[in-house]
Homo-oligomer: A and B are copies of this chain.
């Protein structure tokens, strides 16, 4: 079936108007029905998924897909239960819509409120992961937005089945609109979506850096996300050595393919001679391949590849780590400014003032002190769930949960007030009784 993507976007826009005025109870009711539907239709979903899995297996055999990717796209009854649990977790979050962010009586009877409200239509392009489809659907509904979602082609049948199931469940709630969720199939449709800035209010691309960059440069729709996750750990002269090694191992090996894994370790020249051989031993013992600057390679007895100047920007995404000796805190700040991706960067030190300077001066969405870069995550931050991590500075930065899916508007109520009353001789004065809540 070919979807006319413009008609679908117009329907989504109409749905978003209804969703925007959906109250908390109706939204939670819909979410509960969505969770139940996943459980009740578990067998049906598994059947659809089996066909995707069969196709994916031939791709694995052909070397076109990793076995890790195959595992992620394969449904099991347990995974379906986790998916319904994730919907109920979003249900349990506070409603992000209609919050009064600021309230001010500008003058007698002239009241200003800044209120959170949905974006409208969100378009998401996600990996071949059924759980991502479910989680984004739940977050979109709770935040009062309509969702158009394109999942990785490998889960075409599964995603279609999930979206149909969730739509049916959500639409069974009284006054719920049709087209709250739309499954976008095929690359061509996704590409056409990029031109629909008249109807789509926010674009969330997830996946490779190439995908994110392509989307960012081919649409006028605001894009929420990040292309690169080149995270750094700087080991200061005043670092606890054992802590530094343990944090680097965690940041690199706990999940090497994630965007918040560390890619480059910077070491203060003052401790390079004693610290680097210990660090490299520990890394090699954990199967991490190291690459280094000239100084690193000269102080370590272990063999390693050199890093060319333009390679400091690399996001390895595997068990490879680049190491560079820098001239103290200043050198670390320069390197991070020059080669970083403004995602998450960490300093390891017991020197309070060095830590404070690093936290203040590094211009990244996450600036960490004595912790693993892997903490840069919506769930760990306590946001319940995230749609992605934004390295943009406008509006949403760092891990983005429900809060990042809403914006606000100013609601002004009065009794016929005119601006002319506030200018010229005998002008009324504003009171500006402001409350921040």
Residues of A within 8 A of B (CB): 17, 20-21, 104, 106, 110, 112, 114, 117, 119-120, 201-202, 216-217, 220, 222, 224, 240, 243, 246-247, 250, 254, 337, 355, 357, 359-361, 363-372, 374-376, 380-382, 392-399, 407-420, 422-423, 430, 432, 434
Contact = CB atoms under 8 A, between A and B. Distances in A.
A423 to B, nearest CB: 8
Given A222-B393, A359-B411, A396-B395, A416 B247 contact: yes
Contacts of A393: 119, 201-202, 222, 395, 407
A171 to B, nearest CB: 20
A322 to B, nearest CB: 21
A351 B268 CA distance: 68
B394 A395 contact: yes
Nearest to A107: B380
Contact of A413 (B370, B417, B420): B370
B17 A361 contact: yes
B20 A361 contact: yes
Contacts of A376: 410, 412
A413 to B, nearest CB: 5
Number of copies: 2
7 contacts: A254-B423, A367-B410, A370-B413, A371-B412, A393-B395, A394-B407, A397-B409
Nearest to A408: B397
Contacts of A409: 363-367, 397-398
Contacts of A114: 398
B375 A417 contact: yes
Contacts of A423: 254
A391 to B, nearest CB: 11
Nearest to A104: B382
Given A396-B395, A397-B408, A371 B104 contact: no
Contact of A414 (B240, B371, B430): B371
Contacts of A360: 20-21, 117
A370 B407 contact: no
Given A394-B395, A395-B395, A430-B380, A368 B412 contact: yes
A371 B420 contact: no
Contact of A370 (B117, B250, B415, B434): B415
Contacts of A413: 355, 368-371
A20 B396 CA distance: 20
B394 A222 contact: yes
A201 B21 CA distance: 35
Most buried by B among A119, A397, A416: A416
B416 A240 contact: yes
A250 B420 contact: yes
Nearest to A216: B220
A363 to B, nearest CB: 6
A97 to B, nearest CB: 10
Contacts of A372: 417-419
B410 A366 contact: yes
Residue with the greatest number of chain B CB neighbours at <10 A, chosen from A370, A375, A419? A419
Contacts of A17: 337, 361
Contacts of A368: 411-414
Contact of A363 (B120, B202, B361, B375): B120
